[in-house]
Chain A
Amino acid sequence: MSKVTLKDIRLREYTLENLGLLGRLRKDLMRTRPEVCIERARHTTRYLRDLSSDDEPMETRYAKAVAYFLSKKAPLFFDDNLLAGTTTSKPFGAPVYQELTGMTIWPELDTISTRGKNPLILSREDAEELNFEIFPYWMERNILEYTRKKHNNPGCMRLFERIVFFLASKAGTISHTVPDYRKVLAKGIEGIIEEAAAREEDVRRKGADTPDNRHSIEFYQAVQIVMKGVLEYAANLSRRAEELAAAETDPARRENLLRMSETCARVPAKPARTFREALNSLWICQVAVHAENINMAMSPGRLDQVLYDYYRRDIDSGTLTVGEAIELVGCLWLKLNDNTNLVPETSEELFGGAGTVPAVTVGGVDENGEDAVNDLTYIMLRVTELLKLRDPSVNARYHYEKNTEEYRDRVAEVIVNTKAVPAFHNDVVDIKVLENQGTSTEHARDYAVIGCVELASAGRSYDASSSIIFNLVSALELAMYNGKRPATGDEQIGPQTGDPAGFSTFEEFWEAFKTQLKWLIGEAIKLNEYFGRAHQEMLPTPLLSAFFEGPMEKGRDLIRGGALYNSSGATHIGFADTVDSLSAIEKAVFMDRKCTFAELLTALRDDFRGHEKLHAYLVYKTPKYGTDDPIAVKNSRNLIRFLYDFYQGHTNYRGGRYRPGYWTMTNHAGQGKLSGALPNGRKAHKVFASGITPASQAAGDLSACLKAVGGLDGLCIPSGEALNLKYPHVNGNGDIKTFAQAVESYFRYGGLHVQFNIMSYEELIDAKKNPEKYPELLVRVSGYSAYFKDLNEAMKDEIITRTAYDLGTGRAVPFPEEYRSMLAYE
């Protein structure tokens, strides 16, 4: 039975104008410049350096460091938001995770406030504190150095440092996961502490003499320690709100402060009773999670399900109106935007512009496989539509057999109205994908999206889905140049798989490519395992573990495999360019014999200068992924299959399998800039296509594109895919219907995910030229949203040149002639 009772699911009567608070807070947020916040670095360093000893087991020592920070964390109220708690000590802050990659900003301490791209304000005092007090302590201790020393500067780490092969972002610690906030809402932190204490007692009774039991005891202690830190922070918030209320003259503001004070006196310590308490409890826990873990894609999950009972109860009892619920949800959305990543200039240049990508998931089916869409789903969609914010990254699950067409079309409408969000996920296949990975059907149905597009059974599965970011083109180049790459010169990087000029069949080249892939992926996995084990030793995560199903039951920290399900994710850059290059080699060299391999390599080395005819042939006449061409179809499926089999054969340090995915954030732009010309006709230093999206302008036919991508075996893509589509315009209800039908067709063909930008080439080109005209232009990158102005130039070009399809004809819109030089093959 449908849980939808709203008369108008579009909630048109609620607007930013009549929801004055949200409009005001949004305006403030857009104006606020990001600042570096050193509070966490200061307190955790002080505790670990001055107030504890190396002799203590890391599990409890680290828990104490986090608890120490939480107890010292300033209780701040920057604005009139209805929810108490801030991620950092700044209205819009970038916390420093010095034990991870935070020290990469060291060279910029004097200049980060004024740098060209996405500056972060840092005061002179704070910079000095980082330089003199904090960073020196970590020079030999951050995870990279710990790992390097332990493994004697291993080759895999040196490959990682070259940037152009793969990134092992495990260095960004535990991240990219979906905690389970249901438990803390229902039991309260005190309930969790009691549970940990009781379980500790149980293990003690069994005896502390085995290493496993010893760890369990330490783990349960750590949970109690760190949870008390959360309680202290909430108590400080409550106290501070009361003080501020006493001094406040504005009655509305005073009232809100008093309510926050009451709320924080109650939650998260105790079970939430109301919708407001549930939201604030959840938010404080989200803040607390970031006291321990880096702010990368820590995703709150299925909020329309997690919060529904609280909402329903308050609505039914008349203590909450729909308007108030919208306002509260809006406040949470704004709160989720209160922090950003600390990114050094190099990374901005190559990969920048991302938010922290806390993914919220709505809709789909429930654990019993029935329609889960409820009033809160529509409230969250309306809030997303009104606020048009970078974060949270909102994901709409759609089950074409269970969800209504009304819901489907409403999601499409919100995408059209925001021009970008939410992303669409295919429930039918997603659930099968997780089942195929060993997740129980019930748990698979309760999946939420992590960060960009990855899937996890919410609060049960620890997937570290962004562990490896692998550049497929680098392996392709290693195969083309016998183990070398133009980007790394004469150095022999990979195994010598032979000069392809001597190959007589495409299969020989395919084998060489697979050999390079296996070797390079092997190196990436090796490094990820090193980092994972380093984490287990130096950065336990008792706080996050308490918000998961599994660790409490098993008495084992999340990082040691405590979750119910485990995996590590590897995502791949340059999929379309690699597939098209393989097909081009197959067709040009081995089928049509248009050129020899040696001639092809010469043309690539010359970046096609003087090889115009061959270049045109490669661009226009070789098979392209995203069309019906059987060679392209074959090569795309073979590559997906090969990678799946290879990764699944590897087990990680937590006992889970490696899962491949295809989403690229901004890496395809940066990596493209670092790569030479390719056999598919893409010229040197041009961007790669994003995610699992066909190369720009290569797939001229929308339906063929949807079929080709949808036709890839979803079961082989367990870490998710990002298909980026662009429509120049969507006019009226008729077009929205077509829009939604196209999405559903793609899902029925088997596609996992699709996201959109509703922008024309011309508008985007104008936005690049005149950023001041588009200060809030929201775009989908490859799995997350960003403000267009924040992106680096390469990434802007990639979004501009992405194929735009005319929804009325299903054909690619011709790229404006005068800007053709932006195209990857021009």
Chain B
Amino acid sequence: MAKRGRPLIFNIRRFALDDGPGIRTTVFMKGCPLSCIWCHNPESVSPAAEVAFYEDRCIGCGTCREVCPEGAVSATSGSERINRERCTACGVCTEECPSTALSVIGRECEVDELVERLLEERIFYETSGGGVTFSGGEPTLFMDYTAEVMHRLKSEGIHVAIQTSGMFNLREFSDKLLPHTDLIFFDLKLIDSDRHRDFTGRDNDLILENFRHLAMNASIPVVPRIPLVPGMTATKQNLADTAAFLRETGCRSAVLLPYNPGGILKAKAVGRSPHPSLPDRMPPVGEEEELKAFFLDRLSGRCAKAMEKRPAQDINPSTGFHFCSDRRTQGGA
């Protein structure tokens, strides 16, 4: 399942507060085994480089058309601007575009260079009890690369977290990544396997099995995260199922990620049409609150109070967490 070689990095977000304790840097890797229709980092799904077009920044100078060696750029607006069949993501247009309306998503990065960049932020980690979080896409996709970067960071004493879809080979994960990881954010999207297949394109057997194993055996905290996508994951049925599943694994807390429609724009930028049933705005606060309360109730009465606060500062990785995230974007630029 895991790929060899170097992944493309599509974002290194500094001052990340919602990806673990303290002030962190989050590394976003390109490529994901799932293709969730609500993905808020749609530019992360394909492991290959892509050119994104941000129409709001375009000044209409036409330079991109002039310079494209493949003739892949047209004068049309929106996601039609780049002919994705022809585009090789060579990056010539993005170099020449004067207003950063075009940019290449995904760049190779040597381990040394990445580690160096991550360590530049070290003072932020040390001052705040933060560290580095690997996200994606799916950071376990390039297990060897990720393992080496993590290893280098751990040997510098940096706290390392990972955000995963859970779609990985458990043995390889346990051998290569787990020893360098301090904290796992584990996405649980849907418990019903049919619905999971429908919405993400893959079965969830492996995911649930991996979660069960890690939650019960790993010596580090494993925090389940449930994205609240209206009508898809944010249903009482799914939340009840998830709570039951978590209780079964002895897990008494979880992060609920509020729905963020930001993915829709980003999907358009890389020429994908967003799923028509995805809401383009955030649901009313009350609705999400109600679902959260329902979920908490099912999971454990004790959690209710802690769920009201934003978590980033309050969690203590050594004792487990009770928190949910706020409305902040969970993904890349």
A–B contact (CB under 8 angstroms):
yes
- Interface residues of chain A, those whose CB is within 8 Å of chain B, are 612-614, 616-617, 619-621, 628, 701-704, 707, 732-734, 737-738, 741-742, 744-745, 748-749, 808-811
Task: Find residues 89-107 in chain B having any chain A CB closer than 8 Å to their own CB.
Answer: 98-100
Contacts of A810 in B (CB 8 A): 13-17, 23
Interface footprint category on B:
20 to 34
How long is the Cα–Cα vector from A629 to B289 in the complex, in angstroms? 43
| CB contact between A734 and one of B16, B59, B314 (< 8 Å): that residue | B314
* Interface pair A703/B14, CB less than 8 Å apart: yes
Contact B17 A612 (CB under 8 A): no
A745-B23, A745-B128 given; A738·B98 CB < 8 A: no
Q: Indicate if B238 sits at the interface (CB-CB under 8 A).
A: no
Q: Could you tell me if B123 and A749 are in contact, using CB atoms closer than 8 angstroms?
A: yes
Q: Is the CB of A704 within 8 A of B14?
A: yes
Asked if B124 lies at the interface with its beta carbon under 8 angstroms from chain A, I say: yes
**How many angstroms from the CA of A114 to the CA of B238 in the assembled complex?**
70
Write out the residue numbers on chain B whose beta carbons fall within 8 Å of the beta carbon of A628: 120
Shortest beta-carbon contacts, A-B, top 6: A810-B15, A617-B98, A734-B313, A616-B98, A616-B99, A703-B14
| Cβ contact within 8 Å between B23 and A809 | no
B129 closest partner in A (C-beta)? A741
Is the pair A738, B313 in contact by a Cβ cutoff of 8 Å? yes
CB contacts (< 8 Å) of A734 on chain B: these are 309-310, 312-314
CA–CA, A741 and B128, complex, Å: 6
Q: Is the pair A701, B312 in contact by a Cβ cutoff of 8 Å?
A: no
Interface residue ranges, B against A (CB under 8 Å): 13-18, 22-23, 57, 59, 61, 63, 98-100, 120-121, 123-124, 126-128, 309-310, 312-314, 326, 328-329
| Distance to closest chain A CB from B123 (angstroms) | 4
Distance, CA A628 to CA B15, complexed state (A):
14
Cα–Cα distance between A737 and B165 once the two chains are bound (Å)? 30
Q: By the criterion CB–CB under 8 Å, are A741 and B15 in contact?
A: no
* CA gap between A621 and B102 in the complex, in Å: 12
B196 CB to closest chain A CB, in angstroms? 30
Q: Which of A613, A701, A702, A732 contacts B98 (CB 8 A)?
A: A613
* CB pair B310 A809 closer than 8 Å: no
- Residue in B closest to A621 when the chains form the complex, CB atoms: B98
With both beta carbons as reference points, the residue of chain A lying nearest to B57 in the complex is identified as: A620
In whole angstroms, how far apart are the Cα atoms of A616 and B121 in the complex? 30
The residue on A at minimum CB distance from B309 is A734
Q: Point out which of A614, A745, A809 has the most chain B C-beta atoms below 10 A from its C-beta.
A: A745
> Considering the chains assembled together, what is the distance between the CA atoms of A260 and B17 in angstroms?
54
Distance between B17 CB and nearest chain A CB, rounded to angstroms: 6
* B22 (CB) vs chain A CBs: closest residue: A741
A377-B312 Cα distance, complex, nearest whole Å: 30
Is B123's CB under 8 angstroms from A732's CB? no
Task: Pick 26 A–B contacts, CB within 8 A, sort by A.
Answer: A612-B61, A616-B61, A616-B98, A616-B99, A621-B98, A703-B14, A703-B121, A707-B121, A732-B309, A732-B310, A733-B313, A734-B312, A734-B313, A741-B23, A741-B127, A741-B128, A742-B15, A742-B124, A745-B23, A745-B127, A748-B126, A749-B123, A808-B326, A809-B329, A810-B13, A810-B15
Chain B residue at minimum C-beta to C-beta distance from A700:
B333
> Of A613, A621, A744, which contacts B59 at CB under 8 A?
A613
A811 to B61, CA, bound (A): 28
User: What residue of chain B has the Cβ atom nearest to residue A594's Cβ?
Assistant: B98
Contact of A808 with B17 in the complex, beta carbons under 8 Å: yes
A153 to B310, CA, bound (A): 66
How many angstroms from the CA of A657 to the CA of B103 in the assembled complex? 49
Contacts of A742 in B (CB 8 A): 15, 23, 124
- A738 near B127 (CB under 8 angstroms)? no
Contact: A620 with B128, CB < 8 Å?
no
Complex contact A745–B124 (CB within 8 A): yes
- Shortest Cβ distance from B100 into A: residue: A620
Hey, which chain A residues are within 8 Å of B61, CB to CB?
A: 612-613, 616
Interchain CB contact under 8 A, A620 and B23: no
Knowing that A617-B99, A702-B15, A810-B14 are A-B contacts, what are 5 other residue pairs whose CB atoms are under 8 Å apart, sorted by A's residue number? Answer: A616-B59, A620-B98, A734-B309, A741-B127, A745-B127
A500 to B331, CA, bound (A): 46
Interface centre among B18, B61, B309, B313 (most CB of A within 10 A): B313
Q: Chain A residues near B120: list those with CB within 8 A.
A: 628, 707
Residues on B with C-beta less than 8 A from A737 are 128, 313
Give A612 to B329 CA distance when docked, in angstroms: 33
A621 lies within 8 A of B100 (CB): yes
Expressed in whole angstroms, the Cα–Cα distance for A809 and B123 within the complex equals 17
Shortest CB-to-CB span from A737 to chain B, Å, is: 5
CB distance from A741 to the nearest CB of B (A): 4
Beta-carbon contact of B99 and A620 below 8 Å: yes
Which residues of the partner chain B approach A613 to less than 8 Å between Cβ atoms?
Answer: 59, 61, 63, 98
Q: Does A738 lie within 8 Å of B23, measured CB to CB?
A: yes
Task: Give the docked Cα–Cα distance between A628 and B116 (Å).
Answer: 13
Contacts of B14 in A (CB 8 A): 701-704, 810
Complex contacts, A704 vs chain B, CB 8 Å: 14
Distance between Cα atoms of A811 and B124 in the complex (Å): 15
Contact status A745-B310, CB under 8 Å: no
**Given A620-B98, A734-B310, A741-B23, A612 and B123 contact (CB-CB distance below 8 Å):** no
Separation in Å of the B9 CB from the closest CB of chain A? Answer: 15
Q: Would B98 and A745 count as touching, CB distance under 8 A?
A: no
B17 contacts A738, C-beta separation under 8 Å = yes
Which of B16, B18, B61, B99 has most A Cβ within 10 Å? B99
B57 / chain A contacts, CB cutoff of 8 Å: 620
Cα A170 to Cα B188 with chains together (Å)? 68
Inter-subunit contact A703/B15 (CB<8 Å): yes
A-chain residues with CB within 8 Å of residue B312 when the two chains form the complex: 734, 738
The listed residue with most A CB atoms (<10 A of its CB), out of B59, B309, B326, is B59
Closest to A738 in B: B17
Nearest-Cβ distance from residue A485 to partner chain B, whole angstroms: 28
* Closest chain A CB from B67 CB (angstroms): 13
A620–B120 alpha-carbon span in the complex (Å): 24
A702 CA to B16 CA in the complex, in Å?
Answer: 11
Q: Chain A nearest CB: distance from B330 CB in Å?
A: 11
Give every chain B residue within 8 A of A738 (Cβ-Cβ).
17, 23, 128, 312-313
**Complex Cα gap A707–B98 (Å):** 26
Q: Is A809's CB under 8 angstroms from B309's CB?
A: no
Residues from chain B with a CB closer than 8 A to the CB of A702 are 14-15
Q: Within 8 Å CB of A744, what residues of B? A: 127
Q: How far is the CA of A810 from the CA of B312 in the complex (A)?
A: 14
**Is the pair A745, B313 in contact by a Cβ cutoff of 8 Å?**
no
Cα distance A748–B98 when bound, in Å? 36
B62: nearest chain-A partner, CB-CB: A613
A808-B124 contact given A621-B98, A702-B15, CB 8 Å threshold:
no
Say yes or no: B15 contacts A612, CB within 8 Å.
Answer: no
Contact B328 A808, beta carbon cutoff 8 Å: yes
**A619 to chain B: which residues have CB within 8 Å?**
99
Beyond A738-B313, A741-B22, whether A612 also contacts B121 by CB under 8 A is: no
* A619, A701, A808, A811 interface centre (most CB from chain B within 10 Å): A808
Q: How far is the CB of B41 from chain A (nearest CB, A)?
A: 15
| Docked pose: A749 CA to B17 CA in angstroms | 20
Query: CA–CA, A748 to B126, complex, Å?
Result: 10
Task: Name the B residues within 8 Å of A701 (CB-CB).
Answer: 14-15
Complex Cα gap A811–B15 (Å): 8
**A710–chain B nearest beta-carbon distance, Å:** 9
Bound CA–CA A733/B310 (angstroms): 10
Q: Which residues of A contact B16 (CB under 8 A)?
A: 809-810
A590 vs B23: C-alpha distance when bound (angstroms): 39
CA distance A523 to B218 in the complex (A): 71
Q: How far is the CA of A821 from the CA of B264 in the complex (A)?
A: 28
- Residues of B within 8 Å of A745, CB to CB, are 23, 123-124, 127-128
- A811 contacts across to B, CB distance below 8 A: 15
Residues of A within 8 A of B326 (CB): 808
Distance in angstroms from A429 CB to nearest chain B CB is 13
Q: A734-B312, A738-B23, A738-B313 are in contact. Are A748 and B15 (CB under 8 A)?
A: no
* Cα A359 to Cα B329 with chains together (Å): 41
Q: Tell me the minimal C-beta distance from A744 to chain B in angstroms.
A: 5
> Chain A CB within 10 Å — which of B16, B59, B123 has the most?
B123
